[in-house]
Amino acid sequence: MAKYEILFKQLRLAILRGEYAPNDRLPSENAIAIKHGVSRITSKRALNELAAADLVYRVRGGGTFVKPHKSTTQRQILLVLPFPETTSFGDLSKWHSRDASRYDLAVKIDG
């Protein structure tokens, strides 16, 4: 595998993991080259591959920026669970530890 492909995959993974937020500026070609021990041409090619993959956009003289993508789009949902009026917090914690682990669900409570 070519060095630019390895670098492309590393940068792609960093973007998809959220290490760079949408519209964040990526490090310069030179900074990436130094950090990863490759030539500037290799870092430039990796960044061009990210652009071709529609993960970033490049501004001549301005840098490379992360494009907003579907996996970073946040949606809020309201989850209403029917519990009897007599349910205590202890009962809820028992339910959570027993049943919630079966579902791939994250709940954020603001307040």
- Look at residue 1 and give its three-state secondary structure: coil
User: According to the model, what pLDDT value does residue 59 have?
Assistant: 94
Whole-structure pTM value: 0.62
Judge whether residue 90 has pLDDT over 60.
no
**Residue 72 binned pLDDT confidence (cut-offs 50, 70, 90):** very low
Q: Which residue has the higher pLDDT, 40 or 93?
A: 40
Percent over 90 (pLDDT), the chain: 59
Per-residue pLDDT, averaged over 5-12, amounts to 97
